[in-house]
Amino acid sequence: KTSPAATALIGAHNARLTLEAGFTTVRDVGTYRGLTDIALRDAINAGHVPGPRMFVAGAYITVPKGGGELNGVIPNDQLPSDMRLGVASTPEEAAAKTAFLIEQGADFIKTIATGAVLAIGTEPGEPEMTEDQLRAAVETARAKGVFVTAHAHGAVGIKNAIRAGVRSIEHASLIDDDALAMAQASGTWLVMDIYNGDYIDDTGTKEGWPEEYLRKNRETTDVQRVGFMKAVKRGVKLAYGTDSGVYPHGQNAKQFAYMVRYGMTPMQAIQSATIRAAELLGKEKMLGAIAAGRFADLVAVKENPLTNITALEHIALVMKDGKIVR
């Protein structure tokens, strides 16, 4: 509900908070104000504002009135055009929108394969983009050397996205055993934000968020954590992802403790946010490890996170590109 300029300035503030929290690289999986993430990424790279190294999607590829639309404010066809850059009704439109976003500088493509928790009028378990639409986006992006990720809560949408060839699934809240097996067999990454359900339930209830949001959050939080535990046991590829912005930026590290609580070792949780996340990005030769030839990014904490994972919520020092930023 802010202008493009205000959105970019708010983004710059959030970028500093994220960097100071110890996250020196982020993958930002979409914005309602299309292309503002690209502008922020470029401003950070140029040294105009402090922030993490950003890999961005530009906008959401979504069906009309789907989980990537700003539903319930004004009629969607009256929304500003920059809020609907990725709206697509057919495979051909999905391909065209994908090509457009890549031309504008998107690092990867974000598709909305199912309804969303925090989107009016959509249901997380319901598929939205068809397998053909998803495949059109994947094939168009692949031809340009770019990967596609899919927001997908429900099992049907997850399977559609995996069959279409996406690189990762965001949320995977209602994933079933068949979909877990498909993800494992195909090497598809899961990025499961298992902390923020508690924040939504607590803060959303206190602040009077829409009951639709709160209901859908309740219906997905616990079952997502069960799916996460199953994914850990199976050895499915898991990368760290938080849905930051749902809760305040700068608190990104709160999820580490949840990942340990629900089945990961502390080292696995740390690796999910470092070398595994770099592998998801396809940047493991540049990021994710302290080694010769990679960016000199590191954080320092006052306690051993292998014995107290919550130490990562209290960063004492942050270095990015060999320069101390905090």
Question: CA-CA distance, 288 to 274, in Å (whole number)?
Answer: 4
| pLDDT exceeds cutoff 90 at 40 | yes
**Helix crossing, 4-20 with 36-45: angle to 10°?**
50
110 forms bridges with which residues in the sheet? 60, 149
198-230 burial, b at 16+ Cβ within 10 Å, e below that, comes to ebbbeebeeeeeeebbbebbebbbeebbebbee
Identity of residue 63: V
Q: Which domains does the chain have, with CATH numbers?
A: 4-292 (3.20.20.140)
Q: Give the model confidence (pLDDT) of 145-188 as tens digits.
A: 999 999 999 999 999 999 999 999 999 999 999 999 999 999 99
Q: Give the model confidence (pLDDT) of 225-276 as tens digits.
A: 999 999 999 999 999 999 999 999 999 999 999 999 999 999 999 999 999 9
Residues 6+ apart with CB under 8 A from 220: 117, 124, 153, 171, 173, 174, 197
Q: Give the model confidence (pLDDT) of 78-110 as tens digits.
A: 999 999 999 999 999 999 999 999 999 999 999
Question: CA-CA distance, 292 to 303, in Å (whole number)?
Answer: 26
- What average pLDDT score do residues 190-213 get? 96
CB-CB contact of 129 with 66 (8 Å): yes
Helical ranges in 152-195 per DSSP H:
155-164, 177-186
